[in-house]
Amino acid sequence: MKTLVIGAGGREHALALSLSRDPHVTEVHAAPGNPGIAAFASVHDVDPMDGSAVADLAAGLGVDLVVVGPEAPLVAGVADAVRAAGIACFGPTAAAAQLEGSKAFAKQVMAAAEVPTAMAHVCETADEVIAALDAFGPPYVVKDDALAAGKGVVVTDDRQEAIDHAAQCGAVVIEEFLDGPEVSLFAITDGETVLPLQPAQDFKRAFDGDAGPNTGGMGAYTPLAWAPDDLVAEVSRRVLVPTIQEMARRGTPFQGLLYAGLALTQRGVKVIEFNARFGDPETQALLALLRTPLSALLHGAATGELGDVGLPHWAPESALTVVLAAANYPGTPSKGDEITGVDAANALDGVDVIHAGTAVVDGRLVTAGGRVLSITATGADLVEARERAYAGVALIEFDGAQHRSDIAQTAAEGTMDT
Ligand code: AMP
Ligand code: GLY
């Protein structure tokens, strides 16, 4: 099978890497890709937001499957354009991607499907914002209704900060604070069959101890030894399947990856958010353990034949990824700083250095985004995976590099506060 991955981040590097190791895959292409992907696949300089350019590239290359990685092209209808050209495409239509593209839409779908989630008010005016904040009380949760690369959400005890954030957004969703550990549970679906992946955990805050602002994600690991045994079955029954059925009932079936961001609260599992694509960086950890050929899952979803594929198989190990971010991330990051040590880290046992925001300038690898690299490692258990990933982190340098030193620490020590 010939494949084309659309996007340029860590998630796309992980997807392309997994496809390149898949015995059923003969060619991996990426557009625009990144220097990490270019080391093993062909990269093409195409605007990922331009549906007809992506469809033309796919047709010209004669690929059997296009995988659209990030949310922005999905919401813009790039998967629709590829399918209109008669090429199998993994990723939802623009209409179905509204599950991520609008938090208010996601709330409507959850209400219709009776999916448990935080109580919420959609607010358009400053008066509505203040009324909603005071109705829920602190901690305040204020979410930009539109796409914001994981950075549109503010959770704070400071009422003025909540009001100020809302004022910077258009429509906002203000909701009840959900207390409890967070879990990312992904499902691959063709719109009917729903195949859950194993649960992962993401670390959203910028600094150790879950301090600092929300980011796109600073690290992740899988599986979750501390999670209840029936978590996947319960989330399938109460969240994933009803949501997929509701999307089909509306005439906008969802095909691709449904990402459920969950809080395990005292009052049961609740959805924090839906995304319409693989999570980043959870995907780096998950794909490191996936043993079912990725192409079978993605092609099965794209062609409506997922029922023939069966539940995914996993290596009985642990995987962990640690993000190395540029100075000032999640604010405007520093760019153009030279990166060293990537090859040495990549050569370590069980370690893959995944590129997220890098570029090659004058033959040197430099930083080119907020999240620069994610160092991914597998191990017999979480302790070993952590040691390997952090050994990789220690070898890589660039000016202002920052990372969290506590990814999966309490889980590895068995002291998770659940
Ligand atoms: P989102 O983009 O909706 O996933 O929000 C980003 C992060 O903000 C989540 O991963 C949570 O850590 C936090 N968050 C969002 N909504 C809530 C909520 N209702 N209660 C508590 N934390 C939340
Ligand atoms: N890791 C969080 C996200 O992909 O949205």
pLDDT digits (tens, 9 = 90+) for 88-131: 999 999 999 999 998 889 999 999 999 999 999 989 999 999 99
Q: Is 273 in the pocket of ligand 1 (CB under 6 A)?
A: yes
- Does residue 23 surpass a pLDDT of 90? yes
* Per-residue pLDDT at 150: 57
User: For residue 145, which amino acid is it?
Assistant: D
pLDDT digits (tens, 9 = 90+) for 330-357: 999 999 999 999 999 999 999 999 999 9
Q: What is the fold, at CATH topology level, of the domain defined by 119-175?
A: Dna Ligase; domain 1 (3.30.1490)
* Per-residue pLDDT at 416: 85
Q: Is 208 in the pocket of ligand 1 (CB under 6 A)?
A: no
CATH entry 3.90.600.10 includes domain 318-413: yes
In ligand 2, which atom is closest to the CA atom of 273?
5
* Per-residue pLDDT at 151: 61
Determine the average pLDDT of the residues in 3-12. 98
Q: Whose CA is nearest to atom 4 of ligand 2?
A: 279
Whole-number Å distance, alpha carbon 214 to ligand 1 midpoint, is 9
Q: Whose CA is nearest to atom 3 of ligand 2?
A: 279
Highest mean pLDDT among 144-148, 158-162, 231-235: 231-235
For a ligand 2 pocket test, name from 100, 153, 280 the mutation site with the most ligand atoms within 8 angstroms of its C-beta: 280
Q: Where are the domains of the chain?
A: 2-90, 119-175, 180-308, 318-413
Homologous superfamily of domain range 180-308 = ATP-grasp fold, B domain (3.30.470.20)
CB 72 within 8 A of CB 49: yes
Q: Is 178 in the pocket of ligand 1 (CB under 6 A)?
A: yes
pLDDT digits (tens, 9 = 90+) for 279-311: 999 999 999 999 999 999 999 999 999 999 999
Distance CA 198, CA 192 (A): 19
Q: Helix axis angle, 241-249 relative to 103-113, nearest 10°?
A: 100
CB 353 within 8 A of CB 365: no
Which ligand gives the minimal distance to the CA of 176?
Answer: 1
**Phi/psi of residue 60, each to 5°?**
-65, -35
In b/e form, how buried is each residue of 136-154, taking b as 16+ CB within 10 angstroms? Answer: beeebbbbbbebeebbbbb
Q: Which CATH class is domain 2-90?
A: alpha beta
- Do 180-308 and 119-175 fall under one CATH topology? no
